[in-house]
Amino acid sequence: MAGFDKVVTSYEDAMAGLEDGMTVLAGGFGLCGIPENLIQEIKRRQTRDLTIVSNNCGVDGFGLGVLLEDKQVRKMVSSYVGENALFEKQLLDGELEVELTPQGTLAEKMRAGGAGIPAFFTATGVGTPIGEGKEVRVFNGREYLMEEAITGDFAIVKGWKADRYGNVIYRHTAQNFNPLAATAGKITVVEVEEIVEVGELDPAQIHTPGIYVDRVIQGTFEKRIEKRTVRSAD
Amino acid sequence: MALTREQMAQRVAQELQDGFYVNLGIGIPTLVANFIPEGMEVMLQSENGLLGMGEFPTEETIDADMINAGKQTVTAVKGASIFSSAESFAMIRGGHVDLTVLGAFEVDVNGNIASWMIPNKLIKGMGGAMDLVAGADNIIVTMTHASKSGESKLLTDCSLPLTGKGCIKKVLTDLAWLEIADGAFILKERAPGVSIEEIQEKTQGKLIVPDHVPEMVFA
């Protein structure tokens, strides 16, 4: 690698430096826009005691669900889990900890983490179990909770296209948490469907500027659909 | 007669206005999309990052990268926009969404809502519900008036852990349309053929019954 060239050619290199006990931020919503191959690489490495920050935890046998198979995850920070039986079992057995976080708060925690904002106030969760033990402040007569930012040792991100400098664009609703995770990793790894030459992407259309990105790798993706819903053709 | 799910959706749809940006939750709220009056422009927001959700795709147009907050494959309408989760919740938390419709387990006379957690049952999470109820000003809760065993869901105090505090002002049940103000439910409309006595019997929290409570009208 030289200059701004972020491209790596093996998944082993893409996740080099990942160690037991680290915090990993993962993009994706359900199975949409998840870094499938980077997750598989974490499984292959058998890294353990991980804290994973991701809206969901995949399903049995796919997405982040595969990291549960060998009990690699110590804690999940998510807004909605339980689409997989293994998750439920490990949670009930006390092998897995879960910190449920409202979806908007989770997104904002990552955004704030990436933007150097240590905490913020939000009305979300006031008077609910989420607010217990958190500082409450009144602004303009309304109560707000203090929520702290999240950063990760690694961020794993799925993009559509990237150039060699790590400028990324996402495709449709596969964007979701990906650009937020990308800003908040000490090491941000982006896997994409296509790496293009520098200058091919329109600078005004970049979702994640390369300054946030440390490594880029091109992969192939299954893109499994969680809830296939169709109408009959007109 | 208690309203069907479709009739509930139809009644909620009467609250839509031309030019509204609307977030519809899972279940009955989703059905509201089927009753948008002809000629009215309404843009549906899906909190995973889509403003302008369209109908389901065909087998030919299905796309794994195009889903809604219920993780179903969808399409986008003309004029739609797609963005990150932070942007999506900026819209929600910033109060930019004109109407939010969502389900609940319980609502109480102080506008508290419980919709995400039943103790000693598996907790899957709140998803975006806490953000939606805290961020929106205009919220309609849709739910059955009482549980299958006959226990009221319209209470003096929610018994389940809350999703949001003091944020609900409008409730549509299968029996009635109610508003919440000054520590009471106010009965605004009743389902066709449902008596005020039945609604009173199934409402545990304080209920104010005005002199005239019209029946809902369906086109």
Residues of A in contact with B92 (CB under 8 A): 104
Query: Does the pLDDT value for residue B41 go beyond 80?
Result: yes
SS percent in chain A: helix, strand, coil, step 5 = 25, 30, 45
User: In chain B, what is the greatest distance between 2 CA atoms, to the nearest angstrom?
Assistant: 56
CA dihedral (B90, A176, B97, B3) in degrees, to 10, reads -140
Tens digits of residue pLDDT in B81-105? 999 999 999 999 999 999 999 999 9
- B59–chain A Cβ distance below 8 A for any pair: yes
Half-sphere exposure of A212 (CA within 13 A, CB side): 28
Nearest CA in chain B to A175: B84
CA dist B202 and B214 (Å) reads: 18
Handedness of CA A33, A38, A43, A44 (dihedral sign): positive
pLDDT of residue A153: 98
Residues of A in contact with B56 (CB under 8 A): 229-231
A82 contacts B124? CB cut-off 8 A: yes
B72 contacts A103? CB cut-off 8 A: no
Nearest CA in chain B to A227: B72
- B54–chain A Cβ distance below 8 A for any pair: no
B82 contacts A172? CB cut-off 8 A: yes
DSSP assignment string, A125-181: TTTSGGGTTS-EEEETTEEEEEEE---EEEEEEE-SEEETT--EE--GGG-TTHHHH
Q: With pLDDT > 90 as the criterion, what percentage of chain B qualifies?
A: 95
CB atoms within 10 A of CB B142: 26
Query: Does the pLDDT value for residue A233 go beyond 80?
Result: no
pLDDT of residue A82: 73
Residue of A106, A123, A229 lying closest to B72 (CB–CB): A229
Q: With pLDDT > 90 as the criterion, what percentage of chain A qualifies?
A: 93
pLDDT of residue B219: 79
CA dist A54 and A106 (Å) reads: 8
Q: Which of residues 173-192 of B touch A (CB under 8 A)?
A: none
CA dist B5 and B28 (Å) reads: 6
Residues of B with a catalytic annotation lie at: 47
Closest CA to B142 of B180, B183, B110, B170: B170
Tens digits of residue pLDDT in A108-146? 999 999 999 999 999 999 999 999 999 999 999 999 999
The whole-chain average pLDDT of chain B stands at 96
Strand partners, B21: B43
Closest CA to B88 of B126, B44, B119, B34: B44
Q: Which two tokens stand for residue A220?
A: 């192939």
**Reported pTM:** 0.97
Alpha carbon B108 to its chain centroid, in Å, reads 15
CB A101 within 8 A of CB A130: yes
Residue of B74, B127, B163 lying closest to A128 (CB–CB): B163
DSSP B37: P
Residues of B in contact with A80 (CB under 8 A): 124-127
B124 contacts A32? CB cut-off 8 A: no
pLDDT of residue A160: 98
B86 contacts A108? CB cut-off 8 A: yes
pLDDT of residue B119: 86
Closest CA to B143 of B16, B1, B9: B9
CA dist A98 and A133 (Å) reads: 17
Tens digits of residue pLDDT in A21-78? 999 999 999 999 999 999 999 999 999 999 999 999 999 999 999 999 999 999 999 9
- A224–chain B Cβ distance below 8 A for any pair: yes
CA dist A116 and A131 (Å) reads: 23
Tens digits of residue pLDDT in A7-22? 999 999 999 999 999 9
Helix (H, G, I), strand (E, B) or coil at A69: helix
B56 contacts A82? CB cut-off 8 A: no
CA dist A139 and A155 (Å) reads: 33
Q: Residues in chain A, how many?
A: 234
Tens digits of residue pLDDT in A175-227? 999 999 999 999 999 999 999 999 999 999 999 999 999 999 999 999 999 99
- For tokens 């970049």, the residue is A206
Distance from CA of A221 to the nearest CA of B (A): 11
CA dist B180 and A229 (Å) reads: 37
Residues of B in contact with A108 (CB under 8 A): 86, 89
How much is the average pLDDT of A140-161? 98
A78 contacts B65? CB cut-off 8 A: no
CA dist B119 and B21 (Å) reads: 34
pLDDT of residue A234: 62
pLDDT of residue A164: 97
Residues of B in contact with A172 (CB under 8 A): 63, 65-66, 76, 82
Tens digits of residue pLDDT in B158-216? 999 999 999 999 999 999 999 999 999 999 999 999 999 999 999 999 999 999 999 99
B162 contacts A29? CB cut-off 8 A: no
Half-sphere exposure of A55 (CA within 13 A, CB side): 30
- B203–chain A Cβ distance below 8 A for any pair: no
pLDDT of residue A92: 86
